[in-house]
């Protein structure tokens, strides 16, 4: 079995685990003043001395980040927009950018590990390891009955959110998303569109995560999300196959048209890109298109707005960005 197959990368884009932690003796972020916010960052700086040296952790201060940097951290899913609401806040990341710690977001610490494909257990291990070194010099808010105490009672207990980003184009085309959301909610999990608002999911990307954080162990949470993702991935594959067989000509035409646009268009905005990307990715998974899964997955990160601006070395108006995106898609897909 190839690595891609083992990690179910055809359907599962990435796995994330985050832990919410607060210092016991300080007001929580939504209720704290600037001085406290600074002190939280100072504590994390001290704690960094206990971090394993080989991980090469770095602390980045929000106040010193450019707008493009902030956007970049968000595009890479290492920070949330809320982190940047506070100039005193900071972001800690390891060198390989698999672990990030948001400091002064909704909780004092939001420890997060992100890995490609379906590997929630490994991601949880990484987050817990970071929790262990952060804890050495600190006393976290904890209650014997209620576990780790967080700003929002929806995170109380383990403070853990285990989630995976899934690409479900076939399930979406066949209008099965709504029943799926209902089915998944019955086992204490939630599914929502990853990009876009409400029921709209750009690129057919959906996030599956646990809803309950109190009364379940970390292992139970991870294994229930992991099991649901496996099940959904299998359902997606079967649906894609069935669609392919039932409407093969119409289906193939749709995929080739998307590929045609992605490899020939001169202007592609982000929304259109996500639509084309989704069809092309499905075409690659079904063996219809020649490109590789790794290329198309990398492409999604590479054509996000901040990534384009970084590469150009200057701010670009939207139309210029759309042109740069189209150029990049052409050259990147021509290589295969």
Partner 1 sequence: MLCEECNRNPATVRYTSIQNGKKVEKSLCAECMHANKLALPFAFSLNDLLAGLFDSGKTQEIQEASDLKCEACGLTYEQFRQSGLLGCAHCYEAFRKPLVPILHRIHGRVQHAGRVPRSAEELMQRKRDIQQLKDQLKEAISQENYEKAAELRDAIRTLEKPAAGKVGEADE
Interface contacts to partner 1, rule CB under 8 A = 22, 24-28, 30-31, 106, 128, 131, 135-136, 139-154, 156-158, 160, 175, 178, 188, 192, 198-200, 212-218, 220
Buried b (16+ CB within 10 A) or exposed e, 284-319: bbbebbebeeeebbebbebbbbbbbbbeeeeebeee
Closer Cβ to partner 1, 178 or 248, answer by number:
178
User: At its nearest, how many Å lie between partner 1 and the CB of residue 235?
Assistant: 19
Closer Cβ to partner 1, 28 or 256, answer by number:
28
Closer Cβ to partner 1, 170 or 280, answer by number:
170
User: At its nearest, how many Å lie between partner 1 and the CB of residue 220?
Assistant: 8
Specify whether the CB–CB gap between 131 and 4 falls below 8 A.
no
Specify whether the CB–CB gap between 161 and 152 falls below 8 A.
no
Contacts of 212 (CB under 8 A, 6+ apart): 157, 188, 221
User: At its nearest, how many Å lie between partner 1 and the CB of residue 184?
Assistant: 14
User: At its nearest, how many Å lie between partner 1 and the CB of residue 70?
Assistant: 23
Angle formed at CA 75 by CA 28 and CA 305, multiple of 5 degrees: 135
User: At its nearest, how many Å lie between partner 1 and the CB of residue 275?
Assistant: 15
Rounded Cα distance between 130 and 100, Å, is 9
What is the number of other CB atoms lying within 10 angstroms of the CB of residue 71?
A: 20
Longest dimension (CA), the chain: 64
User: At its nearest, how many Å lie between partner 1 and the CB of residue 211?
Assistant: 8
Closer Cβ to partner 1, 185 or 248, answer by number:
185
Closer Cβ to partner 1, 272 or 327, answer by number:
272
User: At its nearest, how many Å lie between partner 1 and the CB of residue 31?
Assistant: 4
User: At its nearest, how many Å lie between partner 1 and the CB of residue 193?
Assistant: 10
Rounded Cα distance between 96 and 55, Å, is 8
Rounded Cα distance between 121 and 6, Å, is 14
Closer Cβ to partner 1, 134 or 233, answer by number:
134
Closer Cβ to partner 1, 138 or 233, answer by number:
138
* Residue position matching structure tokens 């890995």: 115
Rounded Cα distance between 79 and 123, Å, is 16
> 313 in helix, strand or coil?
coil
Structure token pair of residue 235: 């359902």
Closer Cβ to partner 1, 12 or 243, answer by number:
243
């Amino acid at each position: 079995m190839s690595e891609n197959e083992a990690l179910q990368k055809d359907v599962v884009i990435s796995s994330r685990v985050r832990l919410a932690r607060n210092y016991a003796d300080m007001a929580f972020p939504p209720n704290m003043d600037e001085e406290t916010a600074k002190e939280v960052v100072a504590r994390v700086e001290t704690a960094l001395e206990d971090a394993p040296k080989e991980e090469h952790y770095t602390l980045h201060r929000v106040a010193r980040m450019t707008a493009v940097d902030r956007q970049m951290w968000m595009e890479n899913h290492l920070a949330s927009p809320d982190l940047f609401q506070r100039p005193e806040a900071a972001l800690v990341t390891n060198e390989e950018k698999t672990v990030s710690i948001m400091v002064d977001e909704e909780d004092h610490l939001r420890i997060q590990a992100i890995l490609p494909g379906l590997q929630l257990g490994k991601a949880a291990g990484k987050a817990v390891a970071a929790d262990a070194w952060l804890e050495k010099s600190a006393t976290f808010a904890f209650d014997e009955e209620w576990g780790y105490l967080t700003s929002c009672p929806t995170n109380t207990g383990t403070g853990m959110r285990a989630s995976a980003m899934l690409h479900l184009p076939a399930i979406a085309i066949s209008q099965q998303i709504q029943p799926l959301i209902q089915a998944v909610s019955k086992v204490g999990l939630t599914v929502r569109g990853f990009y876009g608002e409400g029921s709209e999911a750009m690129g057919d990307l959906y996030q599956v995560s646990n809803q309950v954080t109190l009364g379940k162990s970390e292992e139970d949470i991870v294994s229930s999300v992991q099991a649901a993702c496996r099940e959904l991935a299998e359902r997606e594959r079967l649906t894609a196959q069935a669609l392919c067989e039932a409407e093969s000509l119409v289906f193939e035409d749709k995929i080739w048209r998307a590929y045609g646009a992605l490899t020939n268009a001169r202007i592609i905005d982000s929304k259109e890109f996500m639509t084309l990307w989704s069809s092309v990715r499905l075409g690659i998974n079904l063996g219809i298109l020649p490109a590789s899964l790794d290329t198309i997955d990398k492409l999604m990160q590479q054509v996000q707005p901040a990534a384009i601006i970084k590469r150009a070395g200057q701010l670009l108006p939207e139309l210029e960005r759309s042109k740069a995106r189209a150029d990049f898609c052409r050259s990147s897909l021509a290589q295969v």
